[in-house]
Amino acid sequence: YDFELSYHPGKANVVADALSRKSLHMSFLMAKELELIEEFRDLSLVCELTT
């Protein structure tokens, strides 16, 4: 394979920075979702529908 490795310092590498932030943000949201599900489960709420 013939390739050239180029270094893009800090903020110049916008694409890689955006991709890494997206995965971190998604991981945080998934963890938060699981935490909320556990909290709702612990509440043991009962819903009654009346008409």
DSSP 6-41: ----GGG-HHHHHHHHHHHHHHHHHHHHHHHHHHHH
Q: Looking at the predicted structure, is the pLDDT value of residue 49 above 80?
A: no
CB 17 within 8 A of CB 11: yes
Give the percent of the chain with pLDDT over 70: 69
Q: What are phi and psi of 4, to 5 degrees?
A: -125, 125
Q: What is the mean pLDDT of residues 19-25?
A: 65
Q: Looking at the predicted structure, is the pLDDT value of residue 16 above 70?
A: no
Does any domain span residue 24? yes
Query: Which pLDDT value is given to residue 22?
Result: 66
The domain of 23 spans 15-50
Tell me the pLDDT band of 18, cut-offs 50, 70 and 90: low
Does any domain span residue 10? no
DSSP assigned state of 42: H
Does any domain span residue 31? yes
How many domains, the chain? 1
The model carries a pTM of 0.41
Q: How far is CA 51 from the centre of its chain?
A: 40
Does any domain span residue 7? no
